[in-house]
Amino acid sequence: MAKKSGGNGNGRGTLTGSHMYEVLQGIDFEKRELVGKRKGVGLFDLVKEKDGRLRCYACTLCERSCPVDCIEIEHCPEFETLPFDVDAERAAALAEQPEIEMARFDPVVARIREGSGLVEAFHATQEAFGWLPRATLEAIADEMKLPFSRVFGVASFYSQFRLEPVGKYVIDVCMGTACHVAGAPLVVEAFAQELDVPVGGTTPDGLFTLQTVNCVGACALAPVVRIGDDDTHGRVGPNEARKLVRKLRKAEVAS
């Protein structure tokens, strides 16, 4: 048994932990008033680097995350220039990605102008390219007049959006409860081994991307594997998984 420690005798462990139960000054969210004794709570400020530059680049995440909505981000005329060279960083990030055909992006622009939301715009982009290239995210930010950080923040939040190019065959292994009980983890492993990529990875030849999905709703056929949008396979075991990959590879070599 762990020895009971902590000076105030509440028996809940360490000294640091005991501070959790001390009432400091704060806000009672329900009553919306200040409570507790005045101790140790100050105002928030932005962190500055040694040379005086602000570390914050207004990604708006704190504004979004605050449980009591007490943070507001607004235009600040004191800082005319950004704290780092944005153009150079953008160019570097863009150079890392393969070139894309921006003409395929036009329908997305049209839909944004019709009033589609941000998440819908991502879906449309992903439909056109199979993933979300950085160039398109920048174009969406420009088109919707949003900061790029916000656009990127939303895109990276949702697991269905892919920020890297995908293979020709996207293999989705369902990891729902029914599939788990029926042995889906073994199936994922078999795929990962056969393709020699981790979950989320793409094979070097650009043929396969291995992903997991939380539930495709075909639980009676567990474990379920979906290849592309429409090719669904039910009752797949590790052995079938390996065979599936070999079959697709063979078809690819033949064509």
Partner 1 sequence: MTPPTSKATDADKRTARIRKALAKAPVKGAYLASDDKVEIRVCAGTACHASGRVALRKALDKALAERGLTDKVAVVETGCHGFCEEGPIVVVRPQGLFYPRLKPRDIAEIVETSVVGDGVVERLLYRDPQTDEPLAHEGDIPFYQGQRRIVLALNGKIDPYSIDDYFNHGGYSALAEVLCADDPEAVIAEVEASGLRGRGGAGFPTGRKWRYCRENPGEKHYVICNADEGDPGAFMDRSVLEGDPHAVIEGMTIAAFAIGAGNGPVEGYVYVRHEYPFAVERLRHALGQARERGLLGDDILGSGFSFDIRINQGAGAFVCGESTALTASIEGHRGMPRGKHIRTVAQGLWGQPTNLNNVETYVNVPWIVLNGAEAFAAMGTPTSKGTKIFSLTGKIVNGGLVEVPMGATLREVIFDIGGGMLPGRTFKAVQLGGPSGGCLPAALLDEPIDFESLVAAGSMMGSGGMVVVDDTTCMVDFAKFFLKFTSEESCGKCVPCRVGSQRLLEILERISAGEGTLDDIERMERLSEDIIEGSLCALGGTAPNPVLSTIRYFRDEIEAHIVEHRCPAGVCRPLIRYEIDEEACTGCHVCFGACPTQAISGERKQLHAIDQKLCIKCDTCRQVCRFDAVRVAPAVPVAAEGRPQ
Q: Is the dihedral of CA 238, 243, 248, 207 positive or negative?
A: positive
Q: Would you count residue 237 as binding partner 1 (CB under 8 A)?
A: yes
Query: Is the Cβ of residue 206 or residue 234 nearer to partner 1 in the bound state?
Result: 234
Stretch that binds partner 1, among 37-45, 84-92, 101-109, 175-183 (CB under 8 A): 175-183
Residues from 72 through 101 that contact partner 1 (CB under 8 A): none
Query: Is the Cβ of residue 49 or residue 69 nearer to partner 1 in the bound state?
Result: 69
Residues from 198 through 227 that contact partner 1 (CB under 8 A): 213-222, 224
Gap between the Cα atoms of 149 and 251, Å rounded:
42
Report the phi/psi class of residue 78: left, alpha or beta, with left for phi > 0 and alpha for psi in -120 to 50. alpha
**Given 133, 167, 223, 238, the residue binding partner 1 (CB under 8 A):** 238
Nearest to residue 213, comparing CAs of 222, 205, 204?
Answer: 222
Q: Would you count residue 178 as binding partner 1 (CB under 8 A)?
A: yes
Q: Would you count residue 186 as binding partner 1 (CB under 8 A)?
A: yes
Gap between the Cα atoms of 59 and 77, Å rounded:
17
Q: Would you count residue 23 as binding partner 1 (CB under 8 A)?
A: no
Q: Where in the chain does DSSP place strands (E)?
A: 26-28, 33-35, 169-174, 208-213, 225-227, 231-233
Q: Would you count residue 158 as binding partner 1 (CB under 8 A)?
A: yes
Stretch that binds partner 1, among 85-93, 98-106, 111-119, 247-255 (CB under 8 A): 111-119
Gap between the Cα atoms of 100 and 196, Å rounded:
27
Site string for partner 1, 114-143 (x = CB under 8 A): ---xxxx-xx--------------------
